[in-house]
Amino acid sequence: EAGVVQSPRYKIIEKKQPVAFWCNPISGHNTLYWYLQNLGQGPELLIRYENEEAVDDSQLPKDRFSAERLKGVDSTLKIQPAELGDSAVYLCASSLFGQGGGDTQYFGPGTRLTVL
């Protein structure tokens, strides 16, 4: 079965420019996650979707970050405007069910963002 697909894999932009990342989860997975991974650190959750609903976005910097998951399948994460500190890897993950906590999360390869 196909894994979690993310695009682009790499993105280089100038600061203050907008950028968007796309994620297609594993077919049939109801829950989708976006994580931020800074260099040398573990991933940190930005937002979690149960179908179309964002059930945990407490860590999403809403002044510049936005996300959507239309139709409860693929998702887009946007940054506008990007800042130098946004340079990181953005990981998408999906799981069959989010509730209960024990579900395995399957990760995509990530998008490496460099802001110049």
d(CA 75, CA 24): 7
Q: By CB under 8 A, is residue 102 in contact with other proteins? A: yes
Provide the minimum distance between the beta carbon of 43 and other proteins in the complex, in angstroms, as a whole number.
5
Contact between 80 and other proteins per CB under 8 A: no
Burial of 4 (0-12, 13-18, 19+ CB in 10 A): buried
C-beta of 92: minimal distance to other proteins in Å? 8
Structure tokens at 9: 């894999």
Q: At closest approach, how far in Å is the CB of 110 from other proteins?
A: 6
Copy the structure tokens of residue 18.
């907008």
95 is a contact residue toward other proteins (CB under 8 A): yes
State how far the alpha carbon of 57 is from the alpha carbons of 9, 40, 66, 67, 69, in Å: 24, 23, 10, 9, 13
Q: Does 56 bind other proteins (CB under 8 A)?
A: yes
- Residue 108 engages other proteins in binding (rule: CB under 8 A): yes
Binding positions for other proteins, rule: CB under 8 A: 3-4, 31, 33, 40-45, 48, 56, 91, 93, 95, 98-110
